A and B are shown apart, each in its own frame.
Chain A
Amino acid sequence: MTRPTVDLRPTTQPPRAPSRPITSLLVRPQVIALVAVLLVNWALFPGFFTITWQDGRLFGSLIDVLNRGAPVAILAIGMTAVIATKGVDLSVGAVMAISGAVAAVLVTSGVAAPVAVLVALGTGLLCGLWNGILVTVLDIQPIIATLVLMVAGRGLAQLVTEGYIVTFSDPLLIFIGTGSFLGLPMPVIIALVLMVAATLIVRRTALGLLIEAVGVNRSAARFAGLSANALLLIVYTFAGFCAAIAGLIVAGDIRGADANNAGLWLELDAILAVVIGGTSLMGGRFSIPMAVLGAMIIQAMNTGILISGFSPEFNLVVKSAVIIVILVLQSPLSARLLRRLPGTPK
């Protein structure tokens, strides 16, 4: 059942990645899906594509989609790496709540905002490290290992905020959630920077290849000389870090830390975004930009449902339909059917 995706034999000359024309990017199913959803939104709401410049920043429904989708996109960046190693991180929503709570409580107790932000990010790193230790040292299945923090994490966040919704008026935290830079909302900028940085790091170094190797076959990767455990630790810590950033954005957006509702169920959206982005839950090949695109598709659907006047809960039905379609398309069953069709390559 395993299909080799990487050739680990040493070669004198590293194989060059085949250069793809930029047009091949545009015919990806994810891009087509995003365009389709946006067109539906446009049909429902003719002013959808209107973008105006006001008070030194862009305004419009499209910008709103980018802005609202940014937290899930950031989570999806970390989640992609985790899923590529054949794991999953259920705790990111809870980690968001913890990081928001830590930042809010520190700021309200008089700590300087940059320090509070750093401590919150550090807390996220620690949470991710904890997950990584459970997965590597104790060798627990990722779903269950991260379930521990998912269950206990919200309790911890409540402990930090002592059960209150801690509100703050610190300009830096609010800027992270609602500010703008170069005309774009700050969350969008953060998501873009993180996406580009993460993509460069995994694609310009061997890291991406190593992550895929661990995801395809962990023992084989270890026998091939990779320190799979160190790699898994890095990946889960990175997911915790991404969750902490998303938590800061959500807290800054509402100017408060809500331990009960911050990031609630966002782990599921993040997983969905990664799956829409074409990364298989069985590990292996992955694409961070496609996962970010997946997050944008989800948010465009959310916005579309809201402006068409359906109740937000209707979203869940649509999301489940999307998952079902993707599952059917990814299944070996449909692959076999496709292969039987004449004229299609493999």
Chain B
Amino acid sequence: MNRSLRPLVATTLIFLFAFLLAVLQHPAMMSTRVLGNFLTDNAFLGIAAVGMTFVILSGGIDLSVGAVIGFTTVLIAVLIMWLDLHPLLAFAIALGVAGSFGAVMGAAIHYLKVPSFIVTLAGMFLARGGASVLSSDSIGIQHEFYSTVSKSYILLPGGGRLTVIGIIMLVVFAGAILLAHRTRFGSNVYALGGSETSAALMGVPVARTTIMIYALSSALAGLAGVVFSLYTSAGYSLNALGVELDAIAAVVIGGTLLTGGYGFIAGTFIGVMLQGLVQTYIVFDGTLSSWWTKIVVGVLLFMFILLQRLVFRAGSRRT
């Protein structure tokens, strides 16, 4: 078997094993209803994690995604409720704003030569602050488009519902897999993560790729904000607090190497599902408190970092 696929296979096996254990304890979990909710409840996290995967593949990190999601939900609510725009137009504006925000962060990272971590930290403050300047209160959204969307779903056999936002997430994952493995941009991202100097020497347009990566990450965070807005029908500046950490955890659990240059979008999907599984299990169990989610996710994160270390130490002896 191809050695580079090992972490992905390991993640998938662990997910299947964990799911099996959960089903043995709570047979009701094995239903399309639960699976449908899995997709719906984690849609925004999944979409944000896709953007994070590209950033981490390129050797960077984006701490601003949670804040961008929060900002987008407020912006959409303001545009729809105060300015009477059609939701679709509001979504387009929000995606544009989020994308340009990311492009500016990418440009700052490249041209000012500062670590992505501190630039996106500033971006996080700016987006959270901007959202609360727009409105510090939660704004409810009442629009027929929202009620139509929340009522439309594909009925799965067994009573499960594949909702619109679940479908959006699946489409984003499919598109991102194509983008990462079948386009020049994708190859450039991997090259940049391997080594920025070598990538530049090979003719990878480093500036343009860096800007595009962060624009993509923020635009996807914006899309996650759209999904979050559809999911909760409200805009609030403190929405999606700390989602960046969940997204990073999902990417790492999915087998992407934190030093960049190696990983799979599909792994991130499993990472998101594994976190969803932990949450669902805790809900099913009923006796465990929700703080166990954090501990289990932390332990999983640690295990996978350890696994990566072992696999890559055994794999190659380069330092």
State in angstroms the CA–CA spacing of A332 and B299 once bound together: 39
Encode A138-169 as 1/0 by CB contact (under 8 A) with B: 11110111011111111110110001000000
Contacts of B112 in A (CB 8 A): 327-328, 331-333
Distance, CA A259 to CA B291, complexed state (A):
10
The tally of residues in A whose CB lies under 8 Å from a CB in B reads: 47
In A66-104, which residues have CB < 8 Å from any B CB? 88
For the complex formed, measure the closest distance between the CB of B101 and the CB atoms of chain A, giving whole angstroms.
12
Size category, B interface: 35 or more
Does chain A have a CB within 8 A of B140?
no
In-complex Cβ contact of A327 among B118, B245, B297 (8 A): B118
Interface pair A155/B294, CB less than 8 Å apart: yes
Q: Which of B79-87, B88-96, B126-134, B198-206 has 4 or more CB atoms under 8 Å from chain A?
A: B126-134
Q: A155-B291, A313-B237, A330-B114 are contacts. A320–B125 as well, Cβ < 8 Å?
A: yes
- Cross-chain contact B128 with A316 (CB below 8 angstroms): yes
Q: Please, how many angstroms separate the alpha-carbon atoms of A127 and B204 in the complex?
A: 42
The CA-CA distance from A145 to B259 in the complex, in Å, is: 12
Q: Is the CB of B294 within 8 A of A151?
A: yes
Q: Which of A143, A144, A155 contacts B295 (CB 8 A)?
A: A155
- Asked whether B298 lies within 8 Å of A320 as measured between CB atoms, the reply is no
A281 on interface, CB distance cutoff 8 Å: yes
> Chain A residues near B248 (CB, 8 Å)?
144, 147
What is the minimal beta-carbon distance from A263 to any residue of chain B, in angstroms? Answer: 14
Flag if B305 contacts A144 (CB, 8 Å): yes
Judge whether A155 and B298 touch: CB under 8 Å: yes
A321 to B121 Cα, complex, angstroms? 11
A window 303-335: CB within 8 A of B:
311, 313-321, 323-324, 327-328, 330-333
Please tell me if the beta carbons of A327 and B294 are within 8 angstroms of each other in the complex: no
Q: Which residues of A contact B289 (CB under 8 A)?
A: 158, 163
Instruction: Give the chain A neighbours of B129 by CB distance below 8 A.
Output: 313-320
How does the 8 Å CB contact mask read for B24-48 relative to A, with 1 for contact and 0 for none?
0000000000000000000000000
Please give the residue numbers on chain B whose beta carbons come within 8 Å of chain A beta carbons, in ascending order. 61, 108, 111-115, 117-119, 121-126, 128-130, 132-133, 136, 237, 245, 248-249, 252, 258-259, 289, 291-295, 297-299, 301-302, 305-306, 309
Given contacts A154-B294, A311-B132, 17 further A-B contacts (CB under 8 A): A134-B305, A140-B309, A144-B305, A149-B298, A151-B245, A152-B297, A152-B302, A155-B293, A156-B295, A158-B291, A159-B291, A268-B121, A281-B114, A316-B129, A319-B129, A320-B122, A320-B126
